[in-house]
Structure 1
Amino acid sequence: MQSQDVAPRPTSSASAPVVDVEQAEAALVEHYPRLVRLAYLVLPPGLGRNRRVLTAHALTQRALPRGRATASVIPAQSTGRDGDPGYAFVRLHVLRTSLEAGLPLRRKAWPKRSQLPPLLPQVWGLRLFPRSGGADELALDQRLSALSAPARAAYVLRGLERLPDSDVHQVLRTAGVADPDAALQEADGVPVQYTLLDSPEFDPCSLQARPTDLMRRRQHLKAALAAAAALGVCGALLGLPGDGWGPDGAAAPPYAQNPAAQAALDPSRLVKVSPTAWQSASRTDFSVWPARGDLTTDRALLRRALAVWARPGETVQVSATPGTPSGGPAGPPQLLYAGNVDNARVVILHDGWRIARYAEPKDGTAGAALDFARADGASRVEANAVVLNRTDGNVRYLTAPWVRKTAERDLLKPASGAMDLTLRDGVTAPLASPVTQTGTCTSWNVLQITDDSGTRLMSDLGELVPARLTTGRPGGTHDASGAEALRTWAPFGCSLADQRGHGVRSVNAWQYAEQPLPDDGGTAAWVCTRGETWRGGGERVLAQFHTPGGKYGAVAAKAENVAACGARDPHVLAGVLWKSGAGSWYLLAAGSRDTTSVSATGGVAQTAQGNLLAAKAKQGARAELKGTLTDGRTIDSLR
């Protein structure tokens, strides 16, 4: 009996190419990572990440024909696979079995092999799952999980295989989908973010590993030597330690008793700081935040939050900023918040160097989420706020006890002023989050915070801790709260989208040069934006060019993991091709103030003294830039 979404397999066309085992095996081995990724994306998310990984590998490894077989007449569209009937065959087999794996089991029909847990491969003693991506990957994964299996397959064939809709329709029909048109139409509801399908978030060949229950494994080994009757008793006992499985909600089955682990899971041992501790503390950071919220005494909720942190179940959606381990706390963490927020119960904890946020629906624990972010070494100005909840395109923050006032400001409109936000028990009213906006960037709302030390801006970049916005020369930056700083940031606010999901601690905008434009074009500004991360690596740097009257800056160059434009190396050089109002093309380049000369070679050959260069060029010309500093050192253009 077939599901309504999957039709009986059609017979092969007589004109389809014939594939033998050797040809299919060659295609499978050569394109194995892509085939496994395709299977992982199509498999139902309800399997859990560990089983999806193993099932994706199993289905791909079983894709070889038993002898000679006919291949789909639809070839792959990517270079290296175009026209390869071997690849077309194994791709079709992987797609078909991945769709079958999502079919429900029926009483009156034998289950298909793909519906059962895979016999091979198996990994004993480890839980495997892909590396966590950023906020965009998480949002796409959630959207794909809401689709039917055929619609997921349609989206993946479009994005990963670059097939046109006509070919997607035929592949789905050949794979057994009853209504490919409906699948394509349903897939249209997911925004086109095909480049994200190549993210490590969806790569079941690049994995993270965590141990299973180590103590329970040892007990199982001993129990295997006992009689069959004793096995039943042991299995019952394994479910009894502590408060049992039920109060732990979405957590995985518990480990055996361990004093340190049990202490970390005991709600009564949670650290709760006095509401006035920050006023006399030698340092003010997350460690002096008091516990707030209407559920700080709900032991059952706190127990579930701690248990899920220690051992998240397969249904828990776990995310972490880059460089942030997601393991359990070493000891009892500090409670920052526990309460009802919109339609969820939220618990925020701090273990000295990480912020952990647990959230579950008000009507149960299904769909629980666990998020981590590094916060080690946070100063008072960085420990101002954490994200409490995001819903309907809005975000709420929990602010530090020393915050006196909060407001919402559009970074793109410096003259429009700030709109006050209600602040109750440290929780802000909801404000529009720029993380969820798609399409053209027309606004970038930030949180404006005021305390006794001044006013500063914090931007939501899709993580738990918002990023602090600053301006000024590296090594001498200051908060972007004054009128001049706001004007500096206005054309470049939308470029903050490039910093999302990278564990960013602060972003600085530095106007390092002004350049008179040829043909009386006015004066342009060169601005460098650099995101500093909590982990001290992976910084993203953008050199941007802003012409008079332009609403947005243009990215002239970008780089990652470089010292340029930072406190260690406060130098930068970048160039751009620009067309004047008179219709002439120019190569414009600018270095920081301590640049004594700029040289261009290649498509444009010219040297200028000082930190600015303007040379006539042809449309599409390419040139290499080098700058000489006052100390004689040379620098290359940012790239």
Structure 2
Amino acid sequence: MDERTRADVERAEAALVEHYPRLVRLAYLVLPPSMGRHRRVLTAHGLVQRALPRTGRRRHPDGGLPAQRGPLPENGYDLVRLRTLRLALAHEGRAGRGLPAVPQVWGLRLFPRAGGADELALEQALSAVPASVRAALGLWQLEGLDEDAVRALLERAGATDPEAAQRAAEQLDRDTGAGAAALLNSGEFDPCTVQTRPTDLLRRRQRLRAAVALAAVAAIGAVVAALPGGDGAPVGRPSTPAEQALDPAKLLRTRNEQWSDTARVDFTAWPARGRQAGDKELLGRALRVWAAPPAGTRITASAGTSTRPPDHPPQLLYAGLIDNVMVVVLHDGERLVRYAEPEDATPTLHFARVDDADLTTGAALVIGRGNGWMRYLLAPWISDVAVRDLLAPGAPPHGLHVAPDGVTDRIPQPPPAGGGCGHWPVAQFRPSTRIGAPVPPFLLADLNDLVPVHLTYVPPPPAGAAGPVAGQREATDPAALATWARTACGLGALRGAGVRSVGNWAFAVQRLPEGGGSATWVCTRADTWRGPGSATVRFLPPAVRPGDPGRTAGRSDGTAACSRYGPHVVGDVPWRSPSGKWYLLAAGSPDVDGLDATGALRATGKGPALAAPAPGPAPAAEVVGRLRNGGACGRSGRRGGGPARGAARGVRLGQESGQKVSGFAVRVALRRAGAGTGGPPARAPGT
């Protein structure tokens, strides 16, 4: 037991008042970040105020905490610091419990001033370590204690394994490039200088109404139970599927290692992760908002994705704190649902369709997003992730740190629409060797949806090749990266369209007249999760810089063009040689055996390429491809702009025919049908 005289308590009170901000900052640092900033602020103040000892003998010091070990502190400040530290450490693992008795704040939310990127990164790192490590870092960097003093104080405060906590704190300090001492003394970690915002007014009103209704139901139940013959026993009935879908206890959870021993490698193989995966209050709140979004809830859905309520218990993928936002990610077998609960704003829901996901398209999801940055949550089968710039194909990728719960460091986003195109960052993923068959690294790009887009590549056909081309492969070899460097900026037009994958098919290589070098014809195919896709044909002449864009020859939406179901495509552009002479250039896919130009400019050629002298930049000509089986490739797609804007004349995406027909008949038939086909025939191995 522990005795303290009135003089001891008075000295402790004086020290507490004098160093109150310092003690509250230490308590705020040690408390679990998963509590949220508002609750951490109030709890930190409450713990410091409760740290003041009492006079006389006490059987249970510190409000029920174990008695101190070793001699009593020598002065008042050491005493209140030790008691504050012990109270804060005791909150580890029980952050969901109520606040201390004082202070109480109703109708307002309090939180420290927001810091910069370094402070946010440190806060994220602190949330992933135990309270003892945060305490060691605070005693070292805030209190200025040496190693022996930190270790002794942690031991007296009841921390488990103080030496390990101290080593982890030192490692955390080394990983903080800006210096932990300066960051911990910033406004981001100052719970005495706070901002205020109102609580969610609509939710508060709804809770009040619900409390009144619950009280009325309870009163009626009590009256019924008091009636003669009423024993108050509940009438058992089976719960409906809709009720089960809203029960957090019934959420589906996949075991941690299931991904390494399953034939279905997609989101169903993801385990539940995050520090709040057991927080039933948070999970229940997310399910209720999904089922019946309150007024003001921001709802975003990828193109073609339903926002209907859950009709069966979904699978839990993640629940935790991401950049001061509580995030829950659920999967119902067809959709991903991301619930975000900012402290000072209304909740948000983001829906994305992910049926038929696979090892690559189910490898990551966007767990957090900010101004110019985002974070991924990785699939458990990803062993390594790096970031590279598509516009710098020769630059090596740089590694990216991943937290133990699978959340990456911040990744820069591509430039916004209208903001130029000086860089285009993408993530390069390497699957674990435990996945089974060898799978090469692959690229995913963020296009403002919840799920990133898989990038692929099909190389040019060998010289003189005929028939189907080789299957698509991952866009990570030098040839693929060189092609993507010249087409990456076109990805901006696909933002928010619910795109699943985008592939570059280099369907032809053409020698240019007058020794102008070689040009590559590329068809970029974008497939959506809902089925329809779009195709864009580009002409890539020799480039001065790796990222020089090509010329768009045309685009077709809602089509099977450039897919494996119709691998026939023809494109044509006007081109000016170094001597100033104009040509009409055209090329077709490997099954094209000849090209015919009709109209104001008439020309014909054998093989999949044509170069005809032209009177100017825009000859009124139509180009039709003749297939080896006697069919024809006609037009399907919009023309680009004139040469002044760097666009080409058009693209012809053909459909195979069993009979020889005129170019006019093919064009009329395709215009009436409004569709075409073409493109590479197969998926990449392993995808």
> Which residue does 2:167 correspond to in 1?
none
Asked whether 1:623 is paired with 2:621, we answer yes
Asked whether 1:543 is paired with 2:541, we answer no
1:372 shift after superposition: 0.9
Tell me which amino acid in the other structure corresponds to 2:626: T
- State whether residues 573 and 638 of structure 1, in contact with CA within 8 Å, keep that contact through their aligned partners in structure 2: no
1:329 shift after superposition: 1.3
Asked whether 1:470 is paired with 2:456, we answer yes
Cα distance per residue 1:154-207 (max 9 Å; x no partner)? xxxxxxxxxxxxxxxxxxxxxxxxxxxxxxxxxxxxxxxxxxxxxxxxxxxxxx
Match of 1:522 among 507, 517, 526: 517
Cα distance per residue 1:254-305 (max 9 Å; x no partner)? xxx9722221111111112111121222321111101111211222221221
1:338 shift after superposition: 0.8
Q: In the aligned structure 1, how far is the partner of 2:210 from the partner of 2:521?
A: 70
What SS does the aligned partner of 1:274 have? coil
CA pair 410-240 structure 1, distance change in 2 beyond 3 A: farther
> Which residue does 2:588 correspond to in 1?
591
Asked whether 1:580 is paired with 2:559, we answer no
Tell me which amino acid in the other structure corresponds to 1:303: G
Q: In the aligned structure 1, how far is the partner of 2:304 from the partner of 2:456?
A: 23
Q: In the aligned structure 2, how far is the partner of 1:239 from the partner of 1:345?
A: 30
Q: In the aligned structure 2, how far is the partner of 1:236 from the partner of 1:301?
A: 22
Matched ranges for 1:102-181 at <5 A:
none
Q: In the aligned structure 1, how far is the partner of 2:216 from the partner of 2:367?
A: 34
Tell me which amino acid in the other structure corresponds to 1:441: C
Asked whether 1:382 is paired with 2:368, we answer no
Q: In the aligned structure 2, how far is the partner of 1:609 from the partner of 1:485?
A: 29
CA pair 450-546 structure 1, distance change in 2 beyond 3 A: same
Q: In the aligned structure 1, how far is the partner of 2:599 from the partner of 2:584?
A: 12
> Which residue does 1:480 correspond to in 2?
475
> Which residue does 1:499 correspond to in 2?
494
- State whether residues 415 and 424 of structure 2, in contact with CA within 8 Å, keep that contact through their aligned partners in structure 1: no
1:622 shift after superposition: 3.3
CA pair 611-296 structure 1, distance change in 2 beyond 3 A: same
1:482 shift after superposition: 1.8
Asked whether 1:293 is paired with 2:291, we answer no
CA pair 435-356 structure 1, distance change in 2 beyond 3 A: farther
Asked whether 1:553 is paired with 2:550, we answer yes
> Which residue does 1:5 correspond to in 2?
none
Match of 1:532 among 504, 522, 527: 527
> Which residue does 1:403 correspond to in 2?
382
Tell me which amino acid in the other structure corresponds to 1:334: Q
Match of 1:356 among 332, 337, 341: 337
Tell me which amino acid in the other structure corresponds to 2:549: Y
CA pair 475-300 structure 1, distance change in 2 beyond 3 A: farther
Match of 1:426 among 381, 406, 415: 406
What SS does the aligned partner of 1:434 have? coil
> Which residue does 2:396 correspond to in 1?
417
> Which residue does 2:610 correspond to in 1?
613
- State whether residues 572 and 637 of structure 1, in contact with CA within 8 Å, keep that contact through their aligned partners in structure 2: no
What SS does the aligned partner of 2:273 have? coil
Tell me which amino acid in the other structure corresponds to 1:436: P
- State whether residues 572 and 638 of structure 1, in contact with CA within 8 Å, keep that contact through their aligned partners in structure 2: no
CA pair 333-234 structure 1, distance change in 2 beyond 3 A: closer
Cα distance per residue 1:363-384 (max 9 Å; x no partner)? 24x3321111111111122210
Matched ranges for 1:43-442 at <5 A:
237=213, 259-361=240-342, 363-364=343-344, 366-424=345-403, 425-434=405-414, 436=416, 438-442=418-422
Tell me which amino acid in the other structure corresponds to 2:406: G
> Which residue does 2:659 correspond to in 1?
none
What SS does the aligned partner of 2:278 have? coil
What SS does the aligned partner of 2:490 have? helix
Q: In the aligned structure 2, how far is the partner of 1:419 from the partner of 1:460?
A: 17
Tell me which amino acid in the other structure corresponds to 1:400: A
1:448 shift after superposition: 0.6
Q: In the aligned structure 2, how far is the partner of 1:459 from the partner of 1:429?
A: 16
1:421 shift after superposition: 0.3
> Which residue does 1:131 correspond to in 2?
none
Q: In the aligned structure 2, how far is the partner of 1:389 from the partner of 1:597?
A: 52
Sequence identity percentage: 42
- State whether residues 529 and 541 of structure 1, in contact with CA within 8 Å, keep that contact through their aligned partners in structure 2: yes
Q: In the aligned structure 2, how far is the partner of 1:499 from the partner of 1:318?
A: 20
Asked whether 1:635 is paired with 2:633, we answer yes
Match of 2:447 among 444, 455, 461: 461
Cα distance per residue 1:419-452 (max 9 Å; x no partner)? 1000112111111111636422111110110012
- State whether residues 302 and 496 of structure 2, in contact with CA within 8 Å, keep that contact through their aligned partners in structure 1: yes
What SS does the aligned partner of 2:514 have? coil
Match of 1:567 among 560, 564, 574: 564
Q: In the aligned structure 2, how far is the partner of 1:359 from the partner of 1:241?
A: 32
What SS does the aligned partner of 1:519 have? helix
Tell me which amino acid in the other structure corresponds to 1:613: L
1:417 shift after superposition: 0.8
Cα distance per residue 1:204-240 (max 9 Å; x no partner)? xxxxxxxxxxxxxxxxxxxxxxxxxxxxx99954898
Cα distance per residue 1:460-485 (max 9 Å; x no partner)? 11111111111116771111122222
What SS does the aligned partner of 1:372 have? strand
Q: In the aligned structure 2, how far is the partner of 1:375 from the partner of 1:292?
A: 19
Q: In the aligned structure 2, how far is the partner of 1:636 from the partner of 1:503?
A: 29
Q: In the aligned structure 2, how far is the partner of 1:568 from the partner of 1:323?
A: 22
- State whether residues 575 and 637 of structure 1, in contact with CA within 8 Å, keep that contact through their aligned partners in structure 2: no
What SS does the aligned partner of 2:594 have? strand
CA pair 418-235 structure 1, distance change in 2 beyond 3 A: closer
Tell me which amino acid in the other structure corresponds to 2:503: N
Match of 2:508 among 498, 513, 535: 513
CA pair 594-304 structure 1, distance change in 2 beyond 3 A: same
Q: In the aligned structure 2, how far is the partner of 1:503 from the partner of 1:409?
A: 23
Q: Provide the aligned length of Structure 1 versus Structure 2.
A: 390
Point out where structure 2 has 5 or more consecutive residues left out of the alignment. Answer: 1-208, 219-237, 434-438, 460-468, 638-687
TM-score (norm 2): 0.54
- State whether residues 543 and 638 of structure 1, in contact with CA within 8 Å, keep that contact through their aligned partners in structure 2: no
> Which residue does 1:120 correspond to in 2?
none
Point out where structure 1 has 5 or more consecutive residues left out of the alignment. Answer: 1-232, 243-256
- State whether residues 574 and 591 of structure 1, in contact with CA within 8 Å, keep that contact through their aligned partners in structure 2: yes
> Which residue does 2:94 correspond to in 1?
none
1:343 shift after superposition: 3.0
The two structures, once aligned, show a CA RMSD in angstroms of 2.3
Matched ranges for 1:16-31 at <5 A:
none
